[in-house]
């Protein structure tokens, strides 16, 4: 009565339908962010000394954020070994090992109700904290020591790692519907018996709705960008960009706002941000087509013009500094300019690289799926170079000798510092949103649609990766 592992005597229609739905959601999910965690950072986690396997030395890890609302942690050594074993068996190097991402991860847990858009890591007095921002409007954090304990428990009991449920996150969101910033230090078990196996949350802050510069109402904001660092007061915090244009700064020790730095910043959604800590300069890029520069010292001290003010507004279409302050000009600029989708400072803080959707120099026009990259001289407060791209840039990383960019094409583009080139490395993912560079080895991680994850060496050779492959493929 059994064929291929299927027993019709114990057939459960609900379980079968649920499994199909889960695999469908996973198959069409997107990796929106990824973050390397070095062995040294993992070793500093208080009270955790166990390696991924008994007797092994600590190894590097990769954390990913998915549109399913899950965070997943991978041992880099596992990803490379499985890739090497697959290619050694004669399989094509242009395809991934036939293994689902959730099965290959060493630990995973439901972090948000809805997609997770951004990740960050920050060192605090309590140790290394992993931060995530999601569509549910929360910034959540986990101590790395608790995450590693979760990984060890999942290794001993694999069934814990495959239990996922969004009911826990839904219950938590329901319990925090009060307006304003809120902070939570609770065990996951307090969320109810339906909570998935995961590390206890160290931080959970719901972002408030920012009053739009145009006095327009908005839905509860999603958290779309994070930039960890210290505000002018010296507090360890994280800057947060939201879908309603709000820009906030949170003190990680209290979960509350730092100084007066909390309020409206852009006319439209904040899509990217980066902090140059030595100069205390925060850059935010938005769907309104502008890059705004903030003096975090003045904001933390209550100066700089008060909440929601910024030092400069850089117009992506005009390529220069323009007046802000809201009004009709802001509306026209938002309608005319292509969105700023990614940005990064160089190490000196004198230059800012940005990516925009739409054709270079096109004002409000957009090319067929194209975009542009811009290089801004912050001393002159103007754009000194703009390079058109055949794709929409969606993530970038600035290195000492090159700029790495991924987007809506199946390539990793490596530009010189003058935005010349680029040299392009083919990717498997059709559209990439996540990009990170290992701080020591220069290895590159790229994530995108189809739950895909790729590892490349600093020279561009593919060394590992995963993609969701269903029984139908």
Structure tokens at 20: 């199909």
pTM exceeding 0.75: yes
Distance CA 343, CA 304 (A): 23
Within-domain flag for 281: yes
Give the per-residue pLDDT at 68. 92
By the 8 A CB rule, do 141 and 129 touch? yes
User: Given pLDDT bands bounded at 50, 70 and 90, which one contains residue 95?
Assistant: very low
By the 8 A CB rule, do 62 and 79 touch? yes
205-219, 328-342, 374-388: segment of lowest average pLDDT: 205-219
Q: Over the stretch 418-437, which tens digit does the pLDDT of each residue have? A: 898 899 999 988 999 999 99
By the 8 A CB rule, do 263 and 307 touch? yes
Question: In what helix (H) or strand (E) does residue 160 lie, and over which residues does it extend?
Answer: helix 158-161
Q: Over the stretch 338-393, which tens digit does the pLDDT of each residue have? A: 999 999 999 999 999 999 997 544 444 444 568 999 999 999 999 999 999 999 99
Query: Which range of residues forms the domain containing residue 99?
Result: 24-466
Give the per-residue pLDDT at 409. 94
Give the per-residue pLDDT at 204. 93
Give the number of other CB atoms < 10 A from CB of residue 293: 19
59-68, 229-238, 350-359: segment of lowest average pLDDT: 229-238
Comparing C-alpha atoms, which of 312, 125, 326 is closest to residue 237? Answer: 125
Average pLDDT over residues 35-50: 74
**pLDDT surpasses 80 at 62:** yes
Q: Is 177 left (phi over 0), alpha (psi -120 to 50) or beta?
A: alpha
Within-domain flag for 5: no
Give the per-residue pLDDT at 360. 44
19-28, 33-42, 119-128: segment of lowest average pLDDT: 19-28
User: Given pLDDT bands bounded at 50, 70 and 90, which one contains residue 164?
Assistant: very low
Give the per-residue pLDDT at 6. 57
CATH of the domain at 297: 2.130.10.10
Contacts of 210 (CB under 8 A, 6+ apart): 218, 221, 242, 244, 245, 246, 247, 248, 263, 264, 265, 308
Within-domain flag for 473: no
Which residue would you say has higher pLDDT here, 358 or 232?
Answer: 358
Within-domain flag for 17: no
Describe the chain by its helix, strand, coil percentages, rounded to 5: 20, 40, 45
- Burial zone of 1 (CB within 10 Å; 0-12 exposed, 13-18 middle, 19+ buried): exposed
User: Given pLDDT bands bounded at 50, 70 and 90, which one contains residue 100?
Assistant: low
**Whole-number average pLDDT of the chain:** 78
User: Given pLDDT bands bounded at 50, 70 and 90, which one contains residue 98?
Assistant: very low
Partners of 435 in beta bridges:
446
By the 8 A CB rule, do 387 and 349 touch? no
Structure tokens at 190: 């307090």
Within-domain flag for 9: no
Within-domain flag for 418: yes
Give the number of other CB atoms < 10 A from CB of residue 252: 23
- Burial zone of 424 (CB within 10 Å; 0-12 exposed, 13-18 middle, 19+ buried): middle
Question: In what helix (H) or strand (E) does residue 296 lie, and over which residues does it extend?
Answer: helix 296-300
User: Given pLDDT bands bounded at 50, 70 and 90, which one contains residue 194?
Assistant: very low
The total domain count for the chain is 1
Within-domain flag for 8: no
Cis? peptide before 422, omega within 30° of 0:
yes
Within-domain flag for 251: yes
């Amino acid at each position: 009565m059994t064929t291929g592992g299927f027993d019709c005597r114990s057939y459960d229609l609900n379980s079968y339908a649920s499994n199909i739905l889960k695999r469908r959601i996973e198959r069409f999910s997107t990796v929106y962010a990824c973050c390397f965690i070095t062995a040294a950072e993992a070793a500093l986690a208080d009270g955790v000394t166990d390696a991924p396997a008994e007797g092994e030395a600590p190894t590097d890890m990769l954390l990913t954020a998915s549109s399913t609302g899950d965070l997943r942690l991978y041992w880099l050594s596992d990803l490379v070994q499985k890739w090497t074993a697959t290619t050694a068996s004669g399989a094509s190097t242009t395809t991934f090992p036939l293994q689902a991402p959730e099965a290959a991860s060493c630990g995973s847990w439901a972090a948000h109700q809805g997609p997770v858009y951004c990740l960050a890591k920050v060192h605090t007095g309590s140790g290394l904290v992993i931060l995530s921002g999601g569509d549910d409007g929360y910034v959540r954090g986990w101590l790395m020591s608790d995450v590693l304990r979760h990984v060890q428990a999942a290794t001993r009991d694999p069934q814990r790692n495959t239990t996922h449920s969004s009911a826990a996150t839904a219950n938590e969101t329901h319990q925090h519907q009060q307006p304003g910033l809120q902070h939570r230090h609770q065990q996951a078990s307090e969320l109810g018996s339906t909570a998935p196996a995961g590390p206890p949350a160290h931080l959970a802050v719901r972002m408030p709705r920012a009053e739009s510069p145009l006095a327009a109402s908005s839905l509860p904001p999603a958290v779309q960008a994070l930039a960890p660092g210290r505000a002018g007061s010296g507090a360890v915090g994280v800057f947060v960009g939201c879908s309603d244009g709000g820009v906030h700064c949170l003190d990680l020790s209290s979960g509350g706002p730092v100084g007066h730095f909390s309020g409206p910043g852009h006319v439209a959604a904040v899509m990217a941000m980066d902090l140059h800590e030595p100069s205390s300069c925060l850059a935010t890029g938005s769907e309104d087509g502008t890059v705004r520069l903030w003096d975090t010292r003045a904001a933390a001290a209550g100066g700089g013009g008060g909440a929601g003010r910024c030092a400069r507004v850089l117009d992506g279409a005009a390529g220069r500094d323009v007046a802000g302050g809201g009004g009709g000009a802001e509306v026209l600029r938002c309608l005319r300019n292509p969105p700023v989708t990614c940005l990064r400072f160089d190490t000196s803080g004198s230059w800012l690289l940005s990516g925009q959707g739409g054709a270079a120099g096109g004002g409000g026009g957009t090319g067929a799926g194209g975009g542009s990259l811009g290089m801004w001289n912050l001393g002159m407060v103007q754009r000194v170079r703009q390079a058109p791209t055949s794709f929409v840039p969606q993530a970038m990383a600035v290195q000492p000798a090159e700029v790495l960019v991924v987007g809506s094409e199946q390539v990793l583009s490596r530009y010189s510092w003058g935005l010349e080139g680029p040299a392009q490395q083919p990717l498997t993912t059709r559209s990439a949103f996540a990009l990170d560079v290992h701080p020591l080895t220069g290895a590159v991680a790229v994530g995108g649609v189809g739950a895909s994850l790729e590892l490349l060496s600093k020279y561009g050779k593919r060394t590992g990766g995963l993609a969701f492959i269903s029984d139908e493929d």
